[in-house]
Amino acid sequence: MTLRARSRRLGAWWREAGSAAQLGAVVGVLTALIGGVCAAAQLLGGEDPPAPAASGPATPRLEYAVTLPALENHCTSSWIVPRDVADGTPFDPREVPADGVLGSGSAIEIVAQETTGRTVVLHGLRAQVRSRGPAAPGSRLTHGGCGGTLQQALLRIDLATQAGAAVPRDPAAAAPFPWTVAEHDPAAYSVKIEGTGRVEFVLVLDWSWGGRREQTIIDDAGRPFVVSSAEQATDMCSFQQTWRAGRCE
């Protein structure tokens, strides 16, 4: 059909349609025109159209918190500082020595938590050694008492082994992995680190969700953890809020 023929048919319809149909047609045309003008104004004004709503499940995110032991907790820590500490030097039980390294046998506390409302499965924790060197010289500071900790799975890692895998400190204890973790059900671990010489390392937490395997690197605020054996350090023990030479009994 030609354009002229279409125009004749539309004209005939308009004359025969009556006022009600004519009014409806006019309203429809005006509505379409106003909608187009508004959309053009929105684009010219630099406003983005609303984004479509996100669909599908959120991707799980596993976050962690690390606590290095303070000097007050003899049960889980000692620190080697690169200096001599004289008898009678004041002892601050809350201190975490900024210039020190952990003594071998110290424990790092880790809390792992999923933060998007999903559930994930933890499969294992292991050490990844970055460097090795001679034992750190200085003074090994050890507190003579025990501090309290939250309920944790007690693990140990021997940095001398090839795998460096975390295993229960008590061989008779239940296996710590696999373990299910959710937003309101975190996992807490106290990981005793043993090594010879000075060792820099990070921890690798293996986990999965929905058939996908993931890894989370756990470190000391972006730096490797450092632990050292104490054969090159002088033992100092806390006594009545001061340090004195000798090992804690």
Residue 16: in which H helix or E strand, if any? helix 3-17
- The answer to which of 55-59, 121-125, 138-142, 159-163 has the lowest mean pLDDT is 55-59
Q: Check: CB of residue 232 under 8 Å from CB of residue 137.
A: yes
- DSSP-derived 3-state class of residue 217: strand
Tens-digit pLDDT profile for residues 197-219: 999 999 999 999 988 999 999 99
Tens-digit pLDDT profile for residues 168-199: 998 888 888 999 999 899 999 999 999 999 99
- DSSP-derived 3-state class of residue 110: strand
Q: Is the pLDDT of residue 53 over 50?
A: no
- DSSP-derived 3-state class of residue 206: strand
Q: Check: CB of residue 165 under 8 Å from CB of residue 123.
A: no
E-assigned strand segments in the chain: 62-67, 79-81, 101-103, 107-114, 119-133, 138-142, 153-158, 167-168, 179-182, 187-194, 198-209, 212-218, 225-228, 233-239, 242-245
